[in-house]
Chain A
Amino acid sequence: MNRFLSLLPALLVLALASVGCKPSAPDTAGAAQTKTGSDAAAPAGGGAGKALTIAFLPKSKGNAYFIAARQGAEQAAKELGIKLLYDGPTEPDPAKQNEIVETWITRGVDVIAAACENREGISTALRKAQSRGIKVVTFDADALPDARSFFVNQATPEGIGNALTDEAARLLNGSGEYAIITASLTAGNMIEWQKAIEKRNAEKYPNLKRVALRPCDDLKDKAFAEATAILNANPNVKLLMNICSPAVPGAAEAVKQAGKAGQVKVIGLGLPNENKRYVKEGVTDTVILWRVVDLGRLTIHVAAATARGELKPGATQFTAGALGSFKVSGDNVLLGEPFKFTKDNIDQFDF
């Protein structure tokens, strides 16, 4: 009896698992059959007056950043007369992204444009899509190179490093001390950005001197504490450069509470909404980010051109209609220079 009781939880789990799985399995299979049946011609044909269907996959669909990208995608869909599908996980979830890709494969879309949460994880599903004749492009965060045709690259480390360093130099008139607040000392993208900043600094601005580099663990409260300590320990620091998004409002609050607004400049990589308050108060001078709406718009143009055979490997230039002309480097379409949000324009953006 005792032994049976100890097995009971395991049996319960098994029972629950079988109840949970069985009914749904034939269900999805059935749906798959009917869908492929009716849309079978779509992926293969795609020509002769039939509108392209492009599926747009964000990392998470409720996120303001991706909602802004979606606006651009919808604008491009109108410009090009294509059908746009938008779906993604409610939270950043690689497994859910794979499920959505599978659904689109079954449904037979023409192109999938994905921002990948997990580079390796999604690549298998994307390769499967390619093997069924679906074109794949990525944006924002890339998959493995063989799992897509093009990556719409929003910012190179040089682009970001140069924009930040140039802006710091402009605000300090080319000379003075500054400090960097980063997310962590080990994150790959942060290190690339730091190197690009160092390089630009050494090449162009000999009188600009970085005196401190502190990590904030990607936390606003910690960035505030670090910024306060930096300012008090280094009274000559005249600018805080924040290369992770929570650090920008964190550092701005520190400068404000120290009563040094205007005397110590604040710049950084971040989202306009998180910084509006400080930009308007004159604490934060410049927030730098790529044009997120244009990222969505360009992605759909690249997706459509790939499907129509207008954008082929080896191209060095790509014209995205009214959006303009973009450099293509290898299999990366470059969005170009980052954008600067300042007091004058920040109210036009909502993400």
Chain B
Amino acid sequence: MKRYGRELSVTASLGALLLLLAVVAPAFFGRQQLLTTLTAAAPVLVVACGMTLVVLTRQIDISVGSQFALCSVAAGLLARAGWPMPAVILAVLAGGALLGAFNGLLVAGLGLPSIVVTLATFVTWRETLRWWREGEFVKDLPDRFQWLGLGQSSGQLFILLAAAAVFALLVYGLRRSAVGRFVYAVGSDREAARLSGIRPEWVTWGTFVTLGALVGVAAVLNAIRFADVDPKTGTGLEMQVVAGVVVGGVAVSGGRGTLWGVLAGVLLLACIAPALVFLKFPPQWEKAIQGAIILVAVAADGSRRARR
């Protein structure tokens, strides 16, 4: 019980918010609103799962928003060039993995601090995109792009199932596989991990590659909700993702946290923005409330560590 205290408290906060909405604004649970909230949260969850791996090894990747934008634009351009959608998905997944591998190489290979490396790639990819696209949407996409050509309801179902599959796979992988235990081991005590025969560099590199690939998946899941691609998409994604991970109880100091907590954290933050519209809060409050939630989460971590 105590061990999963954080997961439970975040879930309780989410439950309280949903209860409040159920009483004050039941329209929040209307089919269309609910599906939109969940399909918007699905790509964030996919990236947050990847980010969890990176944070568990005591690193961080703040370039995910820029990677996401590059992947989204690439998906649009490839689809427009006539590629079938399965090929587009694979290509974008590979492209994302490549971007992740580049970050991973600089962090794990050269031993540079991940916050500086990914700050650099964050700016570089974003500016590359601005120079290349000049803010122009990728338009005139083929009909098979939006909802993968399946229509709105089936498309939304596909997005939710895909995100659920990624989540389940990673939950299983982290808990049951040897690689999952390596990730925790490297984050808890890098030197001890090395002495027990794990290669920390490879584990760290692998988490960045996985995160990149998941960013690619998330970019597709997000882009197919729309009829065209805004090259500014994913701006601020790093904030949403890191916040979800931290609020979900993953320790920034590495080695501790679960994906279930991250799921609750991502959902909590995803509900806040639309909830404020329903509760008729002035829009100025949105970011302040998000910030306050993160502060509370970090403070809870701090006090827990202080007590030890």
Closest Cβ–Cβ distance, residue B268 to chain A (whole Å): 16
Question: In this assembly, does B139 line the interface, its C-beta being within 8 Å of a C-beta of chain A?
Answer: yes
Q: A225 contacts B273, CB within 8 Å?
A: yes
Contact segment of B28-36, B101-109, B243-251 = B28-36
Contact segment of A16-24, A145-153, A228-236 = A228-236
- A235 and B27 in contact (CB under 8 A), knowing A212-B277, A225-B40, A226-B277? yes
Q: B134 contacts A258, CB within 8 Å?
A: no
- A225 and B283 in contact (CB under 8 A), knowing A253-B226, A253-B227? no
Question: In this assembly, does A224 line the interface, its C-beta being within 8 Å of a C-beta of chain B?
Answer: yes
Question: In this assembly, does B136 line the interface, its C-beta being within 8 Å of a C-beta of chain A?
Answer: yes
The residue in chain A whose Cβ has the minimal distance to the Cβ of B270 is A225
Question: In this assembly, does A215 line the interface, its C-beta being within 8 Å of a C-beta of chain B?
Answer: yes
Chain A proximity mask over B221-254: 1 for CB below 8 Å, otherwise 0: 0100111101011011000000000000000000
The residue in chain A whose Cβ has the minimal distance to the Cβ of B230 is A220
With a cutoff of 8 Å between Cβ atoms, the chain B residues found around residue A273 in the complex are 139
Chain B proximity mask over A259-275: 1 for CB below 8 Å, otherwise 0: 10000000000000110
Question: In this assembly, does A200 line the interface, its C-beta being within 8 Å of a C-beta of chain B?
Answer: no
Question: In this assembly, does A60 line the interface, its C-beta being within 8 Å of a C-beta of chain B?
Answer: yes
Contact-residue size bin, chain B (C-beta under 8 Å from the other chain): 20 to 34
With a cutoff of 8 Å between Cβ atoms, the chain B residues found around residue A92 in the complex are 134
The residue in chain A whose Cβ has the minimal distance to the Cβ of B32 is A258
Q: A214 contacts B277, CB within 8 Å?
A: yes
With a cutoff of 8 Å between Cβ atoms, the chain A residues found around residue B278 in the complex are 229, 232-233
Question: In this assembly, does B175 line the interface, its C-beta being within 8 Å of a C-beta of chain A?
Answer: no
With a cutoff of 8 Å between Cβ atoms, the chain A residues found around residue B139 in the complex are 273-274, 277
Query: B residues 120-163 with Cβ under 8 Å of A?
Result: 130-131, 134-137, 139, 152
Question: In this assembly, does B25 line the interface, its C-beta being within 8 Å of a C-beta of chain A?
Answer: yes
Main secondary structure of the interface of B (DSSP, over half): loop
Q: B134 contacts A218, CB within 8 Å?
A: no
Q: A232 contacts B134, CB within 8 Å?
A: no
Q: B36 contacts A225, CB within 8 Å?
A: yes
Question: In this assembly, does B274 line the interface, its C-beta being within 8 Å of a C-beta of chain A?
Answer: yes
Closest Cβ–Cβ distance, residue A165 to chain B (whole Å): 21
Q: B33 contacts A246, CB within 8 Å?
A: no
Chain B proximity mask over A94-105: 1 for CB below 8 Å, otherwise 0: 000000000000
With a cutoff of 8 Å between Cβ atoms, the chain B residues found around residue A60 in the complex are 134
Closest Cβ–Cβ distance, residue A130 to chain B (whole Å): 30
Question: In this assembly, does B284 line the interface, its C-beta being within 8 Å of a C-beta of chain A?
Answer: yes
Q: B134 contacts A63, CB within 8 Å?
A: yes
Query: B residues 17-54 with Cβ under 8 Å of A?
Result: 25, 27-28, 30, 32-33, 36, 40
With a cutoff of 8 Å between Cβ atoms, the chain B residues found around residue A259 in the complex are 32
- A257 and B277 in contact (CB under 8 A), knowing A62-B134, A90-B131, A235-B27? no
Query: A residues 253-306 with Cβ under 8 Å of B?
Result: 253-254, 257-259, 273-274, 277
Q: B25 contacts A233, CB within 8 Å?
A: yes
Which single member of A229, A246, A258 contacts B273 (CB below 8 Å)?
A229
With a cutoff of 8 Å between Cβ atoms, the chain A residues found around residue B32 in the complex are 228, 232, 257-259
Q: A91 contacts B131, CB within 8 Å?
A: yes
Question: In this assembly, does A249 line the interface, its C-beta being within 8 Å of a C-beta of chain B?
Answer: yes
Question: In this assembly, does A177 line the interface, its C-beta being within 8 Å of a C-beta of chain B?
Answer: no
Q: B130 contacts A225, CB within 8 Å?
A: no
Q: A249 contacts B232, CB within 8 Å?
A: no
Q: Which 5 A-B pairs have the closest CB atoms?
A: A229-B277, A220-B230, A229-B274, A232-B33, A233-B278
Instruction: Kindly list 5 other residue pairs between chains A and B, CB separation below 8 angstroms, not including A233-B28, A259-B32.
Output: A91-B134, A221-B40, A224-B225, A230-B277, A249-B227
